Amino acid sequence: MKFAKLSLAAIAVLGLSSNIFASENKITYNPFGSAKLYYETVDADNSDNDLFSSGSASGGALVSGGLTGKINSCFGYGFEAMAVDTLGLENNLVTKTRMGAGINRDILDTQFWFPQAYITYHPCDMGTNTTFKIGRQYLDTPLAFTERWNLAPNSFDAIVALNQDIVNTTLVAAYVGRGNGRWGAVTNGDKFQDYGVGVDSDITGATAQASTLHNVPMLGKKGGAYTLGVITNLLDGTLPISVWGYNVQSVANALWADAGYKLNLGDGMKVDLGAQYGTVMPDADGVDDTSGFGVKLGGNMSLADMNFGLSVAYSDVDDDGAIALANTATLKTYGFGGITGGKKTKLYTADIYTDGSHVAIPGSEAYRVKATTKLNGIGALAIAYTHNENSRFNNLDVDEIDTILSSNILPGGLNTKLIYMVRDYDQNDKDGKSRDSNHLRLILSKKF
């Protein structure tokens, strides 16, 4: 059975007319807002620009605000407006922005759009713990999700149903009609496209030709995506398990499963185990399936006012296949081998830049080590090391070290995240083309 598509206009009418459904309506309002300033500079061996020069830097500013609330005991609503601007930084500090251009505008223009505009419905008199969420919204599922690492997040026009009639279990059914995800930039602002169009539909030339030669499903595919999921917690919540199935119309079917086990050893010591498996099965003839798995082991120890964490993770994606185990909302077809992949992935080994575009690509084998601690009066410190090797493409063999400091010591509760990344490509030794780079990222943000 297919869900009917609802336009945002129809959803708005539903929300405006719902006040006639019951005389006891009492509309509630919960306002929220945020502001963010984003800056990143890169020192790369294959560039003439150095750290802090405008030619190697990108940035932007974001302001968002919205409301959530209830119309009555059965109906709720939510919407959010978002604006992005360069603040004129391109005249002095940066040359690139941190998101797509949207519809019919220059990349440096001010952008304004609605990432959220939805109605919720709970059949409150039917004896079921079921909720429907209809409209523009954020999603978080293993192979279709909102990415929040860049300046602005992507979102979806979707219909989602959640049921919690079974104890400790949530059943999820969703139809995704459109999305504004874009590889690398995360979002294209107000440019929402039919889900299943697949990769960046603006690509041309060698990249598009490569995907055609390898019969990778990509351009011109429409029809939306469907997903079913089961999320359950066993053993009093210490054993979370989820299983998901996907159908991206005319593109691929996919399965994802993960499980974890959390063990409290007492005396401030905790252990976290995890395992995950995914497979993507393209509709196109002659294109192999992609399968992969990941495992992790983590520990956490608290002593007095100090907290320490350490985790190790490993992932392996089969050599065969043409679609990465990554986010289907931010797909792109790479010039090498016509591989289609998303920017981010839920694999445990993903790091900041060595992410879905590396560890989730067919033929990749990766491991990651991460250490965390809290610094009294300063904030949280994390250091991560990721190593990725790919048996099919040597330009994906890379080592990455990330140092992340998160703090709110600035006046006014201004949240600060400072990230320093070092990347070392093994390809340098194989073809003499150095691609090593250093990245410095600064994010200032405030929620209202």
The pair of structure tokens assigned to 287 is 């294109």
Q: What is the dihedral of CA 213, 218, 222, 223, to 10 degrees?
A: 110
| Listed residue (30, 32, 31, 34) closest to 414, CA to CA | 34
| Listed residue (253, 252, 233) closest to 244, CA to CA | 253
Residue 257's alpha-carbon distances to 294, 309, 434, in angstroms, are: 11, 25, 38
Residue 406's alpha-carbon distances to 86, 155, 270, 337, 354, in angstroms, are: 24, 26, 23, 38, 20
Distance CA 366, CA 348 (A): 10
| Listed residue (22, 241, 18) closest to 132, CA to CA | 18
Which pLDDT tens digit goes with each residue over 49-105?
777 777 778 899 999 999 999 999 899 999 999 999 988 888 788 888 888 888 888
- Render the burial of 415-445: b for 16+ CB within 10 Å, e for the rest: bebebebebbbbbeeeeeeebbbbbbbebbe
The pair of structure tokens assigned to 70 is 């209830």
- Which segments of 91-199 are extended strands (E)? 111-121, 130-137, 140-141, 144-145, 156-163, 169-179, 181-182, 186-187, 193-194
**Helix H or strand E segment including 209:** helix 205-213
Map out the domains of the chain with their CATH numbers.
8-447 (2.40.160.10)
**Helix H or strand E segment including 428:** helix 427-431
CB 313 within 8 A of CB 295: yes
Burial of 372 per CB tally in 10 Å (0-12, 13-18, 19+): middle
- DSSP letter at 440 equals E
pLDDT at 5: 39
Amino acid at 116: Q
CB 246 within 8 A of CB 253: yes
**Helix H or strand E segment including 8:** helix 8-17
| Listed residue (189, 207, 206) closest to 198, CA to CA | 207
| Listed residue (58, 110, 102) closest to 84, CA to CA | 110
Q: What is the CA radius of gyration of the chain?
A: 23
Q: What is the mean pLDDT of the chain?
A: 85
- Block residue for tokens 């039917």: 126
| Listed residue (75, 152, 156, 63) closest to 117, CA to CA | 156
Distance CA 158, CA 53 (A): 42
| DSSP string across 124-141 | TTTT--EEEEEEEE--EE
- Per-residue confidence in pLDDT tens, the chain, 448 aa: 333 333 433 333 344 344 334 436 788 999 999 999 999 999 877 666 777 777 778 899 999 999 999 999 899 999 999 999 988 888 788 888 888 888 888 777 889 999 999 999 999 888 789 999 999 999 999 999 999 999 999 999 999 999 999 999 999 999 999 999 999 899 999 999 888 754 444 333 333 333 333 334 443 446 789 999 999 998 888 899 999 999 988 788 999 999 999 888 887 789 999 999 999 998 877 888 999 999 999 999 887 777 899 999 999 999 988 899 999 999 888 766 678 888 999 999 999 999 999 999 999 999 999 999 998 888 999 999 999 999 988 788 999 999 999 998 888 889 999 999 999 987 655 555 667 889 999 999 999 8
pLDDT at 336: 63
Distance CA 195, CA 210 (A): 22
| Listed residue (166, 29, 190) closest to 110, CA to CA | 190
Which pLDDT tens digit goes with each residue over 243-286?
999 998 878 899 999 999 988 888 778 999 999 999 999 887 78
pLDDT at 363: 95
